[in-house]
Structure 1
Amino acid sequence: MAGGNSNYWEDLRKQARQLETELDLKLVSFSKLCTSYGASHDDHRGRGSDTTPLLSSSSQDRMLDTLGVEIEQLLAKLTSVNDRMAEYTNTPSVTSLNAAVMHTLQRHRDILQDYTHEFQKTKGNFLAVREREDLLGSLKKEIETYKSGTGVNNRRTELFLKENEHLRNSDRLIDDTISIAMATKENMTSQRGMLKSIQSRVNSLANRFPAVNSLIQRINLRKRRDSFVLGGVIGICTILLLLYAFH
């Protein structure tokens, strides 16, 4: 085999290092382009349609596609070089240097694996961003097409939207009213439990002191009257809120 000498091994190492350098530079450029692609589209949507990116979407797509193909070709070449280096390590003439040679081969394999992983991750992110942009662009076109309809349709749509917003506000108001009622109920239940506990203790004392019993009866009578009035007020407020919500 022609690769049975050290010059062949050094040539392979030289090719591997050269390909790794090219890959490193192109991966950096590819990553920057992918980042600027997403940022430029987000900024364009944020500032409105009166501004345009420095590069059009089609130009960025072509640049990224071209650069992606170049990176894939370099990865394929580096894989081929690593395979030839692996074949070289299996030749009998390098048995005495096998440990050092295998260490070098493993290092180049690790570099190839890292570059492959980085490229696939960056490319995956870019494809996800482009798919999202295509979806948003299609949706924007549909909205613009819909808005370009007749004035009657636009007016009808506006009325539908207002009515929908009114219904949503009514739902929120009803939910708030129910929440207030539930909170009031819980509060009254808590107070009722506390009053029962106090009443139990007072009754115990009243049984011991007859003079106090008469006073407790008058307090209970007034408490029942106040509870009735409070319940009526809460019911009236709830009815008024519900009437307001549906008007």
Structure 2
Amino acid sequence: MAAGTSNYWEDLRKQARQLENELDLKLVSFSKLCTSYSHSSARDGRRDRYSSDTTPLLNGSSQDRMFETMAIEIEQLLARLTGVNDKMAEYTNSAGVPSLNAALMHTLQRHRDILQDYTHEFHKTKANFVAIRERENLMGSVRKDIESYKSGSGVNNRRTELFLKEHDHLRNSDRLIEETISLLVIGNNEQHIKLWAGPSHPCGWLLQKKKKKRKRERQVLVKMWKSWIPCALFVGM
């Protein structure tokens, strides 16, 4: 193998190892970020249950920014490592290195396995972080709804009480009117009328008004008959 060709291969291996080391450190930090976010969410949930203070222990927005930044950096490193592996694959397929092709392919396969493992670990950690963040956002929304319900429960209870009182008042009024109408339909039962028309009964005023109206009607009828009787007698003659 020519010296220039050997140096090119070693240079590619050096780049691959350097990128792999950087990815290893980044992925460890990325995993710690996800773990810290999970623990802070759990602490926030416990504190919300036992304390009225809802100020988060950790700033979620700053963690979100760190997550986005680290994710971009890791994706860039993975892309660079993929490019190096592609160059190594091209080198192993070149015509100038047939005798060492098996050894080179073994080395290339090892770097490919490392790349695959790092890619899988990155996507798994990223998915876990997103799931925890979405769950925390959902729980935060539920906690806000609960607090809003608790703060407004007094007003809602007062409104409900007023509605119930108004409903009972209307039902009682309807019942009194129905009883009065039923009583009037009975006819001239004076005992019932006296019983329901007493001053202590709530509908006494209504019955008294009804009595006065009937009295006026009778007076009008009497006057009409008195005026029509002489006319009828005269016509009969």
Is the TM-score greater than 0.5? yes
In structure 2, the partner of 1:128 is 131
Larger radius of gyration: 2
| Counterpart in the other structure of 2:14 | 14
Q: Distance in 2 between matches of 1:112 and 1:156?
A: 64
Distance 1:149 1:53 in 2: 23
Structure 1 pair 33–52 and aligned structure 2 pair: CA distance change class (3 A):
farther
Q: Corresponding residue for 2:103? A: 100
Q: Which moved more, 1:138-147 or 1:84-93?
A: 138-147
- Structure 2 distance, partners of 1:47, 1:60, is 20
Of 45-54 and 6-15, more deviation after overlay is shown by 45-54
Post-superposition CA distance 1:25-82 (Å, at most 9, x none): 0000000110010111111210235375553000111111111111111001101110
Deviations 1:61-119 (A, max 9, x none): 11111111111110011011101110111101111110110010000000000000111
How high is the sequence identity, in percent, across the aligned residues? Answer: 75
Larger mean Cα displacement after TM superposition, 49-58 or 136-145: 49-58
Q: Deviations over 1:104-144 (max 9, x none)?
A: 00000000000001111111111111110111112222222
**Alignment partners' CA distance in 1, 2:30 and 2:159:** 48
| Aligned AA (1:89) | T
C-alpha change, 1:46 and 1:71, in structure 2 (3 Å) is same
Structure 1 spans left out of the alignment, 5+ residues: 158-247
How many residue pairs match? The answer is: 156
Displacement of 1:154 in angstroms is 4.6
Listed as ranges, the matches of 1:1-247 within 5 Å are 5-48=5-48, 50=53, 52-149=55-152, 151-154=154-157
Q: TM-score, normalised by structure 2?
A: 0.61
RMSD of the alignment, in Å?
Answer: 2.3
How far apart in 1 are the matches of 2:10 and 2:63? 39
Give the distance between the partners of 2:54 and 2:148, measured in 1 at CA. Answer: 21
State the match for 2:190 in structure 1: none
CA contact (8 A) 2:44 2:57 kept: no
Quote the residue 2:185 is aligned against.
none
